[in-house]
């Protein structure tokens, strides 16, 4: 039976999950699955029509969008590349503000963010659309559709914050598709969340222009960036985007003290070249810091890339060793549950300071942001 929003929220409150405090502990057990609970939310009857930010009005009611490096020029009654913004009589609108299509409660480790409130939950949300088209996208069923092609909920930013609180999630994650294309909604949710003591993390490809990014950084607490390769050729052929604007955006994030972690999905034969990996590690070390965590994750065949096998674990291990040899401090292997490189090791004494198995964490040996064994400061956002 469908619930209205008020009934849904009070049902959540009845679960005893409204306490604001959180701790390193197993992800809280709900009396029903978040997916079932989300299914009870009322669906939106239409798309939204909220004026977009960062666009320029041009002649004859044309506009230029200035959110991402595509800079779409859009005529009246047309949409930009991402399909989520429309020009109506010379005014540009986002159609997905308050219209999330996917909601869930995930371990923060699933994002993955390993140095950010480990062991806690992230209330996770997405709208339809994306500003690139990766041939290996795992969420193509929401990223590569227009918002009217799927069901959307109707949830204001304060509804999202209420849900995060009810599910005892200290963080809202803007994830699954590409939050840059729902910039206004993400910004408004993060602003509302901060007022209520909830943090915000964007899980993004980082394909965003500097000005909107700088404003967004004022309301976010962490960003995970998918660095999909370290060559323009790969971005052109397999992402339908560009590398340099992504590197520029990452540099801005780092320079403005945002907590960032990088993920590199290793696809056999396409972006696993040792020289490319070395160049990327050198860039991270020189332009960012060796302390930025880097996750090398295992590819599984999907979407338009079913012709390649899963990444051999030996390839991931070779790349992991290369990154360590290049001087990076926190290098992880992802999507290989049980691998030793899921754990966090202190770069000074080499002790395991956070043990993980998949998305679950075990022992945490960090005290006051320092290694409990040798006192070395460990970068991150700790409880």
Rounded Cα distance, 334 and 259, in Å:
19
What is the smallest separation between the CB atom of 261 and ligand SF4, expressed in angstroms? 24
What is the smallest separation between the CB atom of 159 and ligand SF4, expressed in angstroms? 24
- 111 Ramachandran zone, left/alpha/beta (phi>0; psi -120 to 50): alpha
Cβ-based burial of 376 (10 A; exposed 0-12, middle 13-18, buried ≥19): middle
CB 204 within 8 A of CB 176: no
What is the smallest separation between the CB atom of 368 and ligand SF4, expressed in angstroms? 41
Q: How far is CA 325 from CA 92, 277, 346, in A?
A: 49, 11, 15
Residue closer to ligand SF4 (CB basis): 72 or 122: 72
What is the smallest separation between the CB atom of 217 and ligand SF4, expressed in angstroms? 17
Q: What is the C-alpha R_g of the chain?
A: 21
Residue closer to ligand SF4 (CB basis): 207 or 259: 207
Residue closer to ligand SF4 (CB basis): 72 or 203: 72
Residue closer to ligand SF4 (CB basis): 146 or 194: 146
What is the secondary structure of 121-169 as a DSSP string? EEEEEE-S--SS--TT-TTHHHHTS-GGGS--B---HHHHHHHHHHTT-
Residue closer to ligand SF4 (CB basis): 105 or 180: 180
What is the smallest separation between the CB atom of 277 and ligand SF4, expressed in angstroms? 29
Sign of the torsion angle spanned by Cα atoms 159, 214, 292, 263 = positive
Residue closer to ligand SF4 (CB basis): 85 or 97: 85
Which H or E run contains 39?
A: helix 34-39
Residue closer to ligand SF4 (CB basis): 68 or 169: 68
What is the smallest separation between the CB atom of 58 and ligand SF4, expressed in angstroms? 14
Rounded Cα distance, 330 and 346, in Å:
8
Which H or E run contains 185?
A: helix 183-195
Residue closer to ligand SF4 (CB basis): 53 or 318: 53
What is the smallest separation between the CB atom of 236 and ligand SF4, expressed in angstroms? 16
Residue closer to ligand SF4 (CB basis): 114 or 187: 187
Burial code (b: 16+ CB inside 10 Å, e: under 16) for 144-171 equals bbebeeeebbbbebebbbbbbbbbbbbb
Cβ-based burial of 25 (10 A; exposed 0-12, middle 13-18, buried ≥19): exposed
What is the smallest separation between the CB atom of 208 and ligand SF4, expressed in angstroms? 8
Residues forming the site for ligand SF4 (CB under 6 A): 65, 67-68, 70-72, 80-82, 85, 131, 181
What is the smallest separation between the CB atom of 80 and ligand SF4, expressed in angstroms? 2
The closest of 37, 47, 32 to 2, measured between CA atoms, is 37
- DSSP label at residue 235: I
């Amino acid at each position: 039976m469908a619930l209205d929003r008020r009934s849904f929220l009070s049902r959540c409150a009845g679960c005893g999950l409204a306490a604001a405090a959180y701790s390193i502990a197993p992800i809280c057990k709900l009396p029903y699955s978040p997916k079932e609970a989300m299914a009870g939310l009322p669906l939106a009857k239409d798309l939204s029509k909220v004026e977009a930010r960062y666009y320029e009005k041009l002649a004859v009611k044309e506009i230029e969008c200035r959110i991402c490096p595509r800079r779409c020029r859009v005529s009246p009654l047309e949409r930009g590349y991402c399909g989520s913004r429309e020009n109506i009589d010379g005014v540009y609108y986002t159609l997905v503000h308050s219209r999330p299509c996917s909601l869930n409660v995930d371990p923060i480790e699933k994002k993955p963010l390993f140095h950010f409130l480990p062991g806690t939950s992230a209330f996770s949300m997405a709208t339809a659309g994306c500003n690139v088209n990766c041939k290996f996208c795992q969420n193509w069923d929401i990223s590569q559709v227009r918002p009217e092609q799927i069901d959307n909920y109707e949830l204001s930013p304060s509804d999202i914050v209420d849900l995060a609180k009810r599910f005892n999630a200290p963080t809202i994650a803007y994830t699954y598709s590409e939050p840059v294309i729902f910039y206004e909604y993400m910004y408004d949710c993060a602003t509302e969340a901060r007022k209520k003591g909830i943090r915000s993390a964007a899980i993004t490809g980082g394909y965003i222009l500097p000005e909107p990014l700088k404003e967004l950084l004022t309301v976010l607490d962490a960003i995970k960036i998918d660095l999909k390769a370290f060559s323009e050729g790969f971005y052109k052929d397999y992402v339908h985007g560009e590398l340099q604007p992504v590197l520029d955006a990452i540099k801005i994030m780092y320079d403005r003290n945002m907590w960032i972690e990088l993920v590199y999905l290793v696809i056999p034969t396409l972006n696993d070249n040792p020289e490319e990996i070395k160049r990327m590690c050198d860039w991270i070390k020189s332009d960012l810091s060796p302390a930025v965590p880097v996750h090398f994750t295992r590819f599984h065949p999907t979407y338009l890339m079913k012709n390649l096998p899963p990444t051999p674990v030996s390839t991931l291990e070779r790349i992991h060793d290369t990154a360590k040899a290049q001087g990076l401090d926190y290098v992880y292997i992802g999507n290989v549950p049980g691998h030793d490189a899921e754990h966090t090791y202190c770069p000074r004494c080499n002790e395991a300071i956070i043990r993980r198995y998949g998305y679950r964490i075990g022992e945490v040996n960090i005290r006051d942001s320092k290694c409990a064994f040798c006192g070395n400061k460990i970068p991150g956002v700790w409880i």
